[in-house]
A and B are shown apart, each in its own frame.
Chain A
Amino acid sequence: MAMAFKMATTGMWVTEECKNSFMEMKWKKVHRYIVFKIDEKSRLVTVDKVGGPGEGYDDLAASLPDNDCRYAVFDFDFVTVDNCRKSKIFFIAWAPTASRIRAKMLYATSKDGLRRALDGVHYEVQATDPTEMGIEVIRDRAK
C-alpha cells in the first residue's frame, strides 16, 4: 500500500496524486477545485481536472459531465456577517440522473474510501442535478 490508499468496501484504489493535490489545495491554496473520477479498468480513483485559484464555482459546475458521475472538492471562500474571511472545503458527489446505473453504483459505493483519504473536508453535498449543488446551496451550508 505504499503508493495508493485502498478503499474499504470496493476494489478501488485512491492514487497518491489525489491526496497530494488535495493537500496542495488545502494548505497552499493553489487549486480552487479538483474533480476526481474512477477509472474502471485500472480500478483507480484519479484526478480528472484541477481548477486554478482564479476560477470560480461556475467553472467547477461546467466541468462536471451531464451523463457521468464524478467526485469533486471545492474550496469555498466567503466573508461572514462579522466581516471575517473564511474558507470551507466542500465534497460533492455528482451522480446525474442520465448516467448509467453501473456508474452510480460504483461511485456511491466507492465514495467512502475517497472521503476517508481526503482529510479536512467540512461539508458533503450529494447532487443529481445542477440545482442541488447550486452556489446558494453551498452558501446556505457554509453559514
Chain B
Amino acid sequence: MYGGGEYDATSPFKSLIRAFYASLNFSFDGVSLVCPVDEVSAIVIDLGSHTCKAGYAGEDAPKAVFPSVVGSIDQMEVDDPIKSERDPGSVPDPKNVVRPFDSDKIKAKRKLYVGSQALGYRRDNMEDGVVVDWDIVDSIWDHAFRERLLIDPKEHPMLLAEPSSNTPQQRERTAELMFEKYKVPALFLAKNAVLTSFASGRATSLVVDSGGGYTTVAPVHDGYVLQKAVATSPIGGEILTECLMKSLESKSITIKPRYSFKRKEIRPGEFQTVDLDFPNTTESYKLYAQRVIASDIKESVCRAPDTPFDESAYANIPMTPYELPDGQTIEIGADRFKIPDILFNPSLVQTIPGMESFAESAHSIRGLPQMVIESINKCDVDIRRELFSSILLAGGTASMQQLKERLEKDLLEESPQAARVKVLASGNATERRFRLDF
C-alpha cells in the first residue's frame, strides 16, 4: 500500500498502526474472515483549509460539504443573543445531511463551539493544508461524523486525504486521534494528489491542486507522490477573495454582511432594506460574513485572462454587474481578470491597495506555470514527457473559468519542443474527492 511504508518508525503507535494497515489490507483483498470491515462502506474525509468534504467511499460526490471554519466563543460569553446573531435567517435542519452548498456555509460551524480562549468567532486551523490547531480539527471531525453523516465512527473504516506536504508528526497525531478517540476500525491516509490522479484513471500525472488556502503542484508516478519535486505556494482562493475585497473597498464599495440587514418587499417588486444593529458582533465574524459574499462574487464573475494582465489593455472592458445581498448592484471591470491573474503572476498583489502585508512575500512566490515547469524539471528525465502530457487540475480555485486554457497556453510557450502539453480538468471541484472502496 502506498503511504503505509513511509510511516515514521519512531512512533509508539507504530505497531498498532501497522496492524491496522494490515487489517485494512486484508479487507481490500476481500478476505472478509480476517476483518469484517469490508461489509460497511468506508468514510472518506478531506479536510481542506477552506472546506471540509466528507462522504462514503464509492459514491461520486461527497455527502457533506461545509467550511472548515469554527465558531469559537469564550465560555463566559456564550449567551443567546450572540448565538442567534451568528446565523440569522438560517433554518437549522440537522437531519438533512445533503444540503445545497450555499446554505451550508452559514450554518455548518454553528454548533462547533470550541471552549478554548478564542479571540473571535473565526479561527484558522490550517496552514498550507497542514493542521495547526488540533482542538478545532477534532471538532470538525466530530461534526462531520455525528451531525452530517450521522454515523458511528466505530463502525466504519476511514480514508483521510492528506496534503502531500504532511509531516510524520501530523500523521501520527491524526492516527492517534482517530484510533483512540473515535476508535475507528481501520484508517488509511492517502495523499490528495494520488487520489486525484487515480480518480482520473491515471497512475502517472502531474497534479495541480489549487484549493482555498494554498496551491500544490505534485508529480505522481505509479501511485506515489514524488516528494522532492512537490512545489507549493500560499496563493489559493482565500487570497484571491481577500484581494477582491480590498480592491472593492478601495473603490469605496462596502459589502454588507448578510446578518446586518433585513430585506422586505414593501410592494411587489420593490424592496426596502433595513439595517439591523448587532453591537456584540466581533470583527472577525463580520469579516467572515463579508468573505463569504466576496468569494461568491469571485466565483461568479472572475475568469482567467488569456494573456498576462495589463492594466491599460483592460481599462476599457465592459463592466459586469453583480447584485449584492442587500440589493445594491456593483459593477466589476478589470478586477474580473486581474484577480485570477495573481495565480499566474503573484507580483500583481502589490498593485492592490491594502494588500501590502502580503506583497512583501509575493516576490518569492512563483506563478503557476513556473511552478509546473520547476516541478517537472525536478523529476526524472524519463517521466517528464508523460507528466507534461497529463497535467491534472483539481481544487476549487483551479475550476475558475478559462484557467485551464490559460495554463495550457503558458506552458506551451515554456515547455521543451518535443513535449505535448495537455492539461486536464478533473470535472468539478468536489467530484475528484471520492475514491472507491473494495
Contact = CB atoms under 8 A, between A and B. Distances in A.
A10 interface: yes
Interface string A5-49: 010011100000000000000000000000000000001000000
Interface residues of A, number: 25
A97 B424 CA distance: 9
B201 interface: yes
Given A43-B30, A95-B201, A102 B60 contact: yes
B201 A11 contact: no
Contact of B203 (A6, A112, A128, A132): A112
B60 A108 contact: no
Nearest to B385: A141
Nearest to B200: A104
B28 A93 contact: no
A104 B202 CA distance: 8
Interface in B100-117: none
B434 interface: yes
A126 B388 CA distance: 12
B205 to A, nearest CB: 8
Given A9-B1, A11-B438, A101-B431, A109 B389 contact: no
B418 to A, nearest CB: 9
Given A10-B438, A11-B30, A101-B431, A108 B197 contact: yes
A1 to B, nearest CB: 12
B422 A132 contact: yes
Contacts of B223: 9, 108-109, 112
A93 B199 CA distance: 13
B23 interface: no
B39 to A, nearest CB: 14
Contacts of B199: 101, 104-105, 108
Interface in A96-110: 97, 99-109
A102 B386 CA distance: 23
Contacts of B28: 9-11
B384 to A, nearest CB: 14
A10 B31 CA distance: 12
B390 interface: yes
A111 B29 CA distance: 15
A117 B222 CA distance: 16
Interface string A81-101: 000000000000101010111
A108 B201 contact: yes
B200 A95 contact: yes
A69 interface: yes
Contact of B198 (A11, A97, A109, A132): A109
B375 interface: no
Contacts of A132: 389, 422
Interface in B409-438: 422, 424, 427, 431-432, 434-436, 438
Contacts of A97: 424, 427
27 contacts: A6-B29, A10-B438, A11-B30, A93-B201, A93-B202, A95-B200, A100-B60, A101-B199, A101-B427, A101-B431, A102-B58, A102-B60, A102-B436, A103-B201, A105-B436, A107-B201, A109-B203, A111-B203, A112-B203, A126-B202, A126-B205, A126-B386, A128-B200, A128-B201, A128-B390, A128-B424, A132-B389
* A-B complex: 3 closest residue pairs judged by Cβ atoms: A95-B201, A104-B201, A11-B30
Interface of B: 1-2, 28-30, 58, 60, 197-205, 222-223, 386, 389-390, 422, 424, 427, 431-432, 434-436, 438
Interface of A: 6, 9-11, 43, 69, 93, 95, 97, 99-109, 111-112, 126, 128, 132
